[in-house]
Structure 1
Amino acid sequence: MPYALPDGAGPGTTGVQLRVDTPRRFTLTTPFWYAPFRPLPPQLDALLPSAEQRPAGQPADGEQHWLHIPSGSTDLASVPGVLWGLVASYGRHTLAVLVHDHVASLADPAPEAERFDRSSAADEVFYAALRDPEAGQYRAPWFRSLVLWAGVSLTRYYRHRRAGFAALAAATVGAWLALGWLAENVGGRPFPLAAWIVLAMALVVLGVAGVLATRLSRLQPHGVAPDPAYPTALPPRAQDASFLPEGQAPVVRASDIWVVRGLAIAAILLLIAAGWLALPLRPLFGVGVPGFLAFVGLVAFLAGSGYLSRSPIRRDGALPAVVALAGPPIGVVALITAVALYLLWLPDAFSTTGEGPLNSLDRGRTRW
């Protein structure tokens, strides 16, 4: 049981309660507990705060490290407004974000030498909470979890270890150079028409998979598994499929889920095939990537990834690959969204109260 809710959480609620203070600030009014489903590395586990009180029924010498998340102010996930089309500030990751906000806030007043490690512990707990197999509907999809974890990790290196941030930047640029050279030189004669046809097929398959997945999700019971110590915290209707009331069978078959996964895999393969048929790509602005520069980029990528893997979180070694692959499409989405938002805001520009698309774009510094 990863989450434990206290008595009085409120009837009909599957989780914590938030009070709206401002359009972007909330107050957590329902303290709760969280315990990672698997132990963190000892170096990081020792830096996590210890809860003064444990959930009822949990022994003090238990294997799980319970974290008490108290009431406090939060802005949920500090996702820039232009990226809300990809990852909103709330959703399946909300509880994990609340856990991360509290644990990460304890790193700021710590001695400077400990801040990076304490922030690393907070980020590791965040990823564990995102991917907790017992979190029901609060378990985030793996790619969303990876992107959110990469976002907080970028902030961690920028704020507490600038050398690591420089290594991350060099490794990311190096990966782009190497991939650019491959795109310009690998592959046979391009067939643009065939590539467009295969791309259209991929989008159709992907659309069918999305529609089917949406319909299945509406049939699937959701929620956080109830804690026997707090029977009033979760109503039976919100229980997870693996904690269904007695006599109730799951309404979604495993074979249905694998059909969706099979369609998704087919769409990925078709997208790869479309990319291959379009190779080699023409050099951007007529300037290609020289072979020696691609080699230097590959060395920088490997060296930077190796340096980051020495972090207390070994997964940090994959940060350059995640940023290099996810960064460009995310940047394109952000640019298109920003342009569209400002175009839609133009009529409001003539209003006496209009100050810009504040509901969609952040004006200040974004903090994950």
Structure 2
Amino acid sequence: MPYALPAGARPDTTGVQLQIDTPRRFTMTTPFWYAPFRPLPESLDALLPHAENPPDDQHRWLHIPRESTDLGSVPGVLWGLVASYGRHTLAVIVHDHLAGLAKLAPETERFDRASAADEVLYAALRDPEAGRYRASWFRSLVLWTGVSAARYYQHRRSIFWVLAAATVGGWLGLGWLAENVGGRPFPLAGWILGVVGLVVLGVAGTFAARLARLRPQGVAPTPAHPTFMPEGEQPVGRASDIWVVRGLAAAAIVLLLGAVWTALPLPPLFGLGVPGFLGLLGLLVFLAGSGYLARSPVRRDAVLPLTLALAGPPVGLVALITVGVLSLMWLPDAFSTTTEGPVNTVNGRSGRG
């Protein structure tokens, strides 16, 4: 296992305990160890902390001590996409510790140390031995993109603007393609394909949730666990069943892409089209920025403009809708009284007695 967990860890719990300090701040009261399942590049591994008395000598262990954490630093308006806690909880606690050490390092080392922390986060999120604490590839990519963009903003502000320019260039290039690629649009076909794609995606999600319930807690569907068998019961599924889910998800993606294709070319947004020269310029900026980011200690940074360009619009739309809805829900709170903390009613009653 990649984690050496504290006493009390069982197949149904990690044994890691959190103390509530504020509504969004916690203190982890039970230290643990983590060993990335794949080694980092030597230049980054050298920047990770070395601890004494690791659990064994076969892995590169990182000691995660008792300290404060906010779990996943996800803005509240985006919790509909990625919550602050979940399968990624242990991974983000590891990242919190390493990112905190990076901020305390000499200024010339902060970016590289933060890069090492982000690499450990991605490794922990996708660790095949993490059982039910292994995050999906989409959630892993979203979380890694968020912390990586923050890394540039905090430690390499000038390169952050290169990232921003490359992302905008990607939007311009994609906008021009959407307005000029494709034949005659078929809106009705697009609606039909879109609805069917969403239905197939829902079936895939339902089937995946059922498999997760039937699977023994803490066990992931891997070749090491060929069957899903809760203790004392007969087999309830095969590891190959996961390919049914993947097949349905792939079919849903094809149907949804087909729905998009039948809608092309799209009309110009607000009547303002993207000129050809601007689309070409945006594409060149996107490619140049991606190539420049590839020089980072983390080669995966080259895909940051692509992930931001693709995920930015839907994420922004979700955030905008959430802000609008929550603003209406928060209106009653404007007329309520607040306190600095919870009232200790037990001691309060005994004091009056």
Residue in structure 2 matched with residue 281 of structure 1 by the alignment: 266
Task: Give the match's secondary structure for 1:133.
Answer: coil
Deviation, structure 1 residue 53: 2.1
Q: Which residue of 2 aligns with 1:329?
A: 314
Deviation string 1:258-288 (CA, Å, 9 cap, x unpaired) is: 1111111111111111111111100011110
How far is the alpha carbon of 1:223 from its aligned partner? 1.8
What is aligned with 2:167? Answer: 172
Task: Report Cα offsets for 1:26-70 as digits up to 9, x if no partner.
Answer: 110110000111110000000000112211xx13xx3x2100000
Take 1:10 and 1:130, find their aligned partners in 2: how far apart are those partners?
20
Q: In the aligned structure 2, how far is the partner of 1:327 from the partner of 1:171?
A: 13
Match of 2:141 among 143, 146, 149: 146
SS at match of 2:27: strand
Q: Quick check: 1:32–1:70 contact (8 Å CA) kept in 2? A: yes
8 Å CA contact 1:5–1:32 kept in 2: the answer is: yes
Q: Say if 2:199 is the partner of 1:204.
A: yes
Amino acid at match of 1:113: T
- Give 1:135's match in structure 2, choosing from 127, 130, 134: 130
Distance 1:133 1:117 in 2: 26
Paired residues of 1:187 and 1:276 also in contact (CA < 8 A): yes
Distance 1:15 1:136 in 2: 15
Is there any run of 5+ residues in structure 1 with no aligned partner, and where? 226-239, 355-368
Cα deviation, residue 217, structure 1: 1.1
Runs (4+) of structure 1 moved beyond 4 Å? 8-12, 240-250
Aligned to 2:31: 31
> Displacement, 1:256?
2.1
Q: CA deviation at 1:342?
A: 1.5
Is the partner of 1:341 in helix, strand or coil?
Answer: helix
1:219 aligns with 2:204: no
8 A contact 1:28–1:73 mirrored in 2: yes
Report how far residue 187 of structure 1 moved: 0.5
1:344 shift after superposition: 2.1
CA distance in 1, matches of 2:173, 2:101: 39
Q: Secondary structure at the match of 1:253?
A: coil
TM-score, normalised via structure 1 length: 0.86
What does residue range 228-267 of structure 1 map to in structure 2 within 5 Å?
241=225, 251-267=236-252
Gap change, CA 1:125 and 1:353, over 3 Å in 2: same
Aligned length: 336
Distance 1:11 1:278, change over 3 A: closer
Aligned to 2:4: 4
Cα distance change on mapping 1:147 and 1:263 into 2, 3 Å = same
Question: What CA distance in whole angstroms lies between the structure 1 residues aligned with 2:36 and 2:200?
Answer: 37
What is the distance in 1 between the residues matched to 2:73 and 2:130? Answer: 22
Match of 1:295 among 259, 264, 280: 280
Tell me the equivalent position of 1:339. Answer: 324
Q: CA deviation at 1:345?
A: 2.4
More off after superposition, 212-221 vs 303-312: 212-221
Q: Is the contact made by 1:221 and 1:241 (CA closer than 8 Å) also made in structure 2?
A: no
For 2:277 and 2:287, how far apart are their aligned partners in 1?
Answer: 15
Q: Which fold has the larger relative contact order, with Cα–Cα distance below 8 Å and residues 6 or more apart in sequence?
A: 1
Q: Deviations over 1:279-324 (max 9, x none)?
A: 1100011110011111111110110000000000000000000110
What SS is found at the alignment partner of 1:190? coil
Do the aligned partners of 2:74 and 2:82 also contact (CA within 8 Å) in 1?
yes
Aligned to 1:363: none
TM-score between the two structures when normalised by the length of structure 2: 0.90
The residue that corresponds to 1:189 in the other structure is 184
Q: Is the 8 A contact 2:169 2:281 kept in 1?
A: yes
Question: Any conservation in 1 of the 2:215–2:230 contact (CA below 8 Å)?
Answer: no
